[in-house]
Amino acid sequence: MSVACGSCGSVIDANDENYKIIDKFAVPKGVEAPAIPLGTRGKYHGTVWEVVGYMIRCDRSEMYQWREYLLFNPGKGFRWLMEFDGHWTYLVMMKNAPVESLMSSGRQVSHLGNHFSLFHTGKAKVRFAMGEFYWNVEVPGMVDVDDYICPPEIVSREASADEVVWSHGEYVSPEVIRQAFNIKEMPSQFGVSPCQPSTIGPTRDQVFKWYAIFAGLLLFGQIGHMVMADRLTVMQDRQIITSGIGKDFVTPTFKIPGGLANLELLLASNVSNNWMEVSGSLINEKTGEAYPMEHGVEYYSGYDGGEAWSEGNATDQKLFSMIPGGDYHFEYTATGAAPETTFTVAFNREVPMYFNFLFCFSLISLFPIFIGWRKHRFEVERWSTSDFSPYWSQEEDE
Amino acid sequence: MTPFTKFYVGFSTVLVLVFFYANFQGWSLWHSIQSGSWSPQGRTTFQHK
């Protein structure tokens, strides 16, 4: 057991009756005061913990620096609170080492049924220490560190020349820490912590579950609609027109069966390098209600530079929505530019529609796509500081 | 259920109901979008004389 003085940098052996100085380190300038002062007590997981030690640690390059608080409870022993960029992790030393394995996705460890992926490996050292510690603190006391994550949990391995220590940790919301230890000024939070749970995760799971249900309903409805659509031809009128002046036609009365349904106007012609159109009204003989309808076709083809080309179509159809059943006739004018055009006007009842399905399916897909993208961005940011990011190739592309 | 999930479920329920209604009534949503009118027919009629 040792006690470190944050003012003079002396580390004394607390087990020695003469309090022998076992180490002395240079106190860095502008060292950060602990956010939770030594001696502070707080309740976490139903246990009262007292902060007895505080360390500032960093990687070998000293680019990344984090703070560790040693907690003590007489009945439970020691625990750690680690703070990095305003993110907090509560760590417990593990009694048994987890099972290590090498998977196709990289190194992993397994603990209590969870698989932890390697996030970081490197060296860590102590920059500053103050308070009591259950071992003889050495500054810098360089150790090898491996961090494995399975958010919101983390498993860390610290290996020195003498021993290997495994710790299991869980991400703790800063608000929980603030309330537990009654901290007035919390460190500012930056970025995404390695073991920070995604706030989008639960929403994503729920939305994807509902998405599957809604997509299934739409698919079921569309299949049913296609099976039931009989595409019944209720009228067909074949005519001939000559060029120039529009010619008027009135079809015989025909019956459109059923209630409301769609109606397809089919215009089939023999136009070639020309056009024609029909314009008129579908008239309900009982109510007198008229539905204006017009449709045209054009077809052009030829050779250009030795290659055949064509555009347009001599036959085309147009759909009209919600036409009630009843007795109808179609009054229309046909116009064409060709010297003589033979054409057929036909009405088909209950033709299958695809746009409704695609439109609704696209709209219900927007939210899951957005949520999935947000979750992906969160994970990319989480792994951005790792050398083992599964997203590294995408990050480079982006 | 999170607020976002509730919104999504409500939104999608309305869409699915509109889809079934439109298909059963022969309402092409494309016509309504094209015409800029959300009346089901997406067109106007007149009384023939």
pLDDT > 90 in chain A, percent: 71
Q: Which whole number is the average pLDDT over A372-381? A: 92
Q: Residue A274 pLDDT > 90, yes or no? A: yes
Inter-chain touch A260–B19, beta carbons under 8 Å? no
Structure tokens at A24: 């002395």
Task: Determine the average pLDDT of the residues in A327-343.
Answer: 93
**ipTM of this complex:** 0.87
Partner-chain contact B29 A356, CB within 8 Å: yes
Residue B41 has what pLDDT? 53
Per-residue pLDDT averaged across A238-262, rounded? 91
Select from A210, A225, A323 the Cβ nearest to the Cβ of B9.
Answer: A210
Hey, are the CB atoms on B1 and A225 less than 8 Å from each other?
no
Q: Reduced to 3 states, what is the DSSP secondary structure of residue A192?
A: coil
**In the β-sheet with A232-242, what is the strand arrangement from edge to edge?**
A232-242, A340-349, A261-269, A315-323
DSSP string, A157-180: EEE-SS-EEEEEEEEE-HHHHHHH
Q: Which of B19, B27, B32 sits opposite A221 (nearest CB)?
A: B19
Asked if pLDDT for residue A256 goes beyond 80, the answer is: yes
Q: How far apart are CA B43 and CA B32, in angstroms?
A: 8
Which pLDDT score is estimated for A24? 80
The predicted model gives A244-257 an average pLDDT of 91
Q: Rounded to whole angstroms, how far apart are CA atoms A231 and A349? A: 5
Alpha-carbon Rg for chain B, nearest whole angstrom, is 15
Taking the CA of residue A321 and the nearest CA in chain B, the distance in Å comes to 5
CA distance A382 to A154: 13
Q: Name the strand (E) or helix (H) holding A235.
A: strand A232-242
Query: Residue A396's pLDDT band (boundaries 50, 70, 90)?
Result: low
- Shortest Cα distance from A307 to chain B (angstroms)? 36
pLDDT digits (tens, 9 = 90+) for A66-120: 999 999 999 999 999 999 999 999 999 999 899 888 887 778 999 999 999 999 9
Q: Which of residues 1-49 of B touch A (CB under 8 A)?
A: 1-2, 4-5, 8-9, 11-13, 15-16, 18-20, 22-23, 25-33, 40-49
Stretch A243-251: mean pLDDT: 87
Closest listed residue to residue A260, CA positions, set B44, B42, B26, B15: B26
Helix/strand/coil percentages in chain A, nearest 5: 20, 50, 30
What was the pLDDT predicted at B48? 61
Percent of residues, chain A, with pLDDT higher than 70:
98
pLDDT of residue B18: 95
Alpha-carbon distance A267 to A119, whole Å? 65
Q: Which residue has the higher pLDDT, A332 or A162?
A: A332
Residue A307 has pLDDT above 80, yes or no: yes
Which amino acid type is present at position A293?
A: M
Neighbours of A44 (CB within 10 A): 18
What's the pLDDT tens digit per position in A309-324?
A: 999 999 999 999 899 9
Contacts of B2 in chain A (CB under 8 A): 202-203, 206
Q: What average pLDDT score do residues A341-351 get? A: 95
Residue A351 has pLDDT above 60, yes or no: yes
| H runs (alpha helix) in chain A | 174-181, 201-228, 355-382, 392-397
pLDDT, tens digit, for every residue of A123-179?
A: 999 999 999 999 888 888 899 999 999 999 999 999 988 899 999 999 999 999 999
Residues of chain A contacting residue B31, judged by C-beta atoms under 8 Å apart: 319-321
Residue from the list A218, A319, A321 with its beta carbon closest to the beta carbon of B16 = A218
Closest Cβ opposite residue A203 in set B2, B41, B43: B2
Distances (CA, A) of A107 to A100, A116, A384: 7, 9, 18
For A166-224, what is each residue's pLDDT tens digit? Answer: 999 999 999 999 999 999 889 999 999 999 998 888 889 999 999 999 999 999 999 99
For A223-249, what is the mean pLDDT?
A: 91
Residues A11/A21, Cβ–Cβ less than 8 Å: yes
Would you place residue A226 in the very low, low, confident or very high pLDDT band (cuts 50, 70, 90)? very high
Sign of the CA dihedral with A383 first, then A385, A389, and A393 last: positive
Q: Which residues of B fall within a CB distance of 8 Å from A320? A: 31, 41, 43
- Phi/psi at A370 (5° precision): -65, -45
| Residue type (1 letter), A97 | A
Using 50, 70 and 90 to split pLDDT, how confident is the model at A8?
Answer: confident
Q: Tell whether the model's pLDDT for residue A49 goes beyond 70.
A: yes
Cβ-in-10-Å burial (0-12, 13-18, 19+) of A78 comes to: middle
Residue A131 burial (C-beta neighbours within 10 Å; 0-12, 13-18, 19+): buried
Strands B46-47 and A289-304, sheet pairing: antiparallel
Amino acid at A259: G
B31–A289 C-beta distance less than 8 A: no
Confidence band of A243 (pLDDT split at 50, 70, 90): confident
CB contact under 8 A, B23 and A222: yes
Report pLDDT digits (tens) over B1-46: 888 999 999 999 999 999 999 999 999 998 888 776 665 554 556 6
Nearest residue of B to residue A287, measured between CA atoms: B47
**A323 CB contacts (<8 Å, ≥6 apart)?**
A256, A260, A261, A262, A263, A282, A291, B26
Q: Would you call B15 and A364 a contact, using CB atoms and an 8 Å cutoff?
A: yes
pLDDT for res B12:
97
Question: At CB < 8 Å, which residues of chain A contact B?
Answer: 202-203, 206-207, 210-211, 214, 217-218, 221-222, 225, 260-263, 281, 283-284, 288-292, 319-323, 350, 353, 355-357, 359-360, 363-364, 367, 371
- In chain B, residues with a C-beta closer than 8 Å to the C-beta of A221 are 16, 19-20, 23
Which residues in chain B are closer than 8 Å to A261, comparing Cβ atoms?
25-26
Cβ-nearest to B42 among A214, A321, A367: A321
Q: What is the mean pLDDT of chain A?
A: 91
pLDDT of A393 higher than 80: no
Give the per-residue pLDDT at A223.
Answer: 97
Among residues A133, A136, A98, which one has the least CA distance to residue A118?
A98
